[in-house]
Amino acid sequence: MLREQTGWRPSLAFLACLIAGPSIALAQPASNPAAVDPISAQYEAGIALERAGKWPEAIRHYESAVRQYPEQQAFKDRLTISRMHFDVRRRYQDTSFLRSVDTMSSPQVLDMYDEILKNLERNYVDSPAWTEVMRHGTASLEVALIEPSFVQRHLPNVPADKIEAFRQTVRFYVQDRPQGTRFDLRANASFVAGVAKQQLGLSPAATVWEYVCGAVATLDPYSRFLTGNQLDETFANIEGNFVGLGVELKAESDRLRIVSVIAGGPAEQAGLKAGDAIVAVEDNWTNKVTPDYAADLLRGSEGTYVSVVVDSIGQAQRTMRVQRRRVEVPSVENVHIQDKTDGIGYLRLTSFQKTTIRDIDQALWQLHREGMQTLILDLRGNPGGLLTAGVDLADRFLSDGRIVQTRGRNSNENFDYVAHRSGTWSVPLVVLVDEDSASASEIFAAAIYDHGRGTIVGSRTYGKGTVQGIFRMKSAHAGLCLTTAKFYSPNGRPISGSGVTPHIPVEEQTIAMRPVVDQQGVARQPAQNDMVLETAVEFVRGNARVSLRPQP
């Protein structure tokens, strides 16, 4: 089991009743008919995205609404439902999942379900409520029965009204059955699979798969079933290397936009650049398949080739064949002296992985040799990663005291991480954060804040305060990402829901800069309208600075 962090946590809900679409209480509309009630407007906008089947957009919309209106349960409920729809579509375009669906028997999938429930029983941060877990599994099946990808694969010749009749009644088949233990849940999933086979001709294994994925998909935003591909990708991200093209992608409505290209990787050698867009992968056009499916097609065995269609500004659309190779992903970017007069060093940390501390040490010594007097460490957009990497980074700047404490239901998850004097850098420190700085980023920022070690600039962080463990399944090539503990700042403050509030709040106007290299191979400076960075630089200039090297 490996400890890591990612994500955001919504509340649990009785999902089955929500899928049928009853009205949900919202704030009352304004008495003036001409006035626009912002909460109702947000809700209707989300429902419109759901009706259009735009699940990624709906998820982002509801996430924003939850942050803006945390007291509105309706947004949390719709977010959960949107995630379930997206999860079904994603799984049924995941080649490793489809292989498992085609090859595993119903008893084998039931064994996996039991293995997941056993992990919940032993390792989940809260004592599992088995009735809720059962409801979530049934809700996942209900969602799957209205998802075209599921229906086309398993029920292509079954009349829609027959499927709908079963979907509307499936929750009642288990409501009076025992649900007090994980053994009851296994028996119930097997029972529903038998009914679905009898009434619809649905494969029992396909039914049980929905209970497998639904068991964890709605516990919290970070607990999730990992297909074989996702498990491999998770460990590749943690290790800091993967087999692929060496690009960072951003999903847009009809294409995969290349955000950055890793130096020396196959994409760079093929001539791909930041700003280019991939519009087709192996004849699968990105305006017709999900972004996850297209990105999944880019992966493959080392040394093989993938065909992509690329759009570049000012050029005709072109088809390219790019070789997949092992690529090391740097977690530290754009290391440079931002202001030579005042000796202001800058580096950006994009994630926390096994290579992070090695990369940080190299960057700090480089900046020290170039005359660094003060360090600006940019964590904007950093979603987190390895807990231990976040702790080790804080240890580089704190000489003693607690860094973070974790607490779980299982006593094996209870740790107090403390700083050590050896190797501590005493250089004055400014940390840049935003609402996408999460997890290990927040561990570091909270430790710096509580110890008064530096100044935090930007906007309040994401508010993700839980620890996940990655468990490999024994019954198949798959995994489980499970929340096992919560973490607290050195002063005992919970991070979940509250995040870290900066000393100097600044409205973000541009995203944190990606590393950009000009034709001569020289890193360009951050954009001039980066108000967060400009504020940090002005703060440093207005304060006394000293040049201190790390203590032995």
In eight-state DSSP terms, residue 299 is -
Q: Is 176 a catalytic residue?
A: no
Kindly report each contact of residues 446-449 with a partner whose C-beta sits within 8 Å and lies 24 or more positions away, as own/partner.
Answer: 446/404, 446/489, 446/490, 446/493, 446/495, 446/500, 447/394, 447/398, 447/402, 447/403, 447/404, 447/489, 447/490, 448/394, 448/397, 448/398, 449/489, 449/500, 449/503
Catalytic residue among 96, 106, 140, 439: 439
What tokens does 106 get? 């119903």
Cβ atoms 14, 135 nearer than 8 A: yes
Return d(Cα 256, Cα 299) in angstroms, integer: 14
What tokens does 55 get? 């699940």
Cβ atoms 459, 479 nearer than 8 A: no
Residues in the chain: 552
Return d(Cα 86, Cα 221) in angstroms, integer: 13
Return the axis-axis angle of helices 204-217 and 106-123, rounded to nearest 10°: 10
Exposure letters 197-207 (e unless 16+ CB within 10 A, then b): eeebebbbbbb
In eight-state DSSP terms, residue 196 is H
Catalytic residue among 450, 486, 489, 530: 450
Q: Is 464 a catalytic residue?
A: yes
Cβ atoms 16, 135 nearer than 8 A: yes
Q: 227 to each of 74, 209, 261, 359, 417, how far by Cα in Å?
A: 30, 11, 27, 30, 32
* Angle, CA of 473, 235 and 396, to the nearest 5°: 130
Three-state SS annotation for 380-419: CCCCCECHHHHHHHHHHHCCCCEEEEEECCCHHHCEEEEC
Kindly report each contact of residues 163-172 with a partner whose C-beta sits within 8 Å and lies 24 or more positions away, as own/partner.
Answer: 163/200, 166/196, 166/199, 166/200, 167/142, 168/20, 170/138, 170/141, 170/142, 170/145, 170/195, 170/196, 171/16, 171/135, 171/138, 171/139, 171/142
In eight-state DSSP terms, residue 39 is H
| Strand duo 455-458 + 429-433: pairing | parallel
Catalytic residue among 296, 464, 486, 530: 464
Cβ atoms 503, 430 nearer than 8 A: no
Residues noted as catalytic: 439, 450, 464
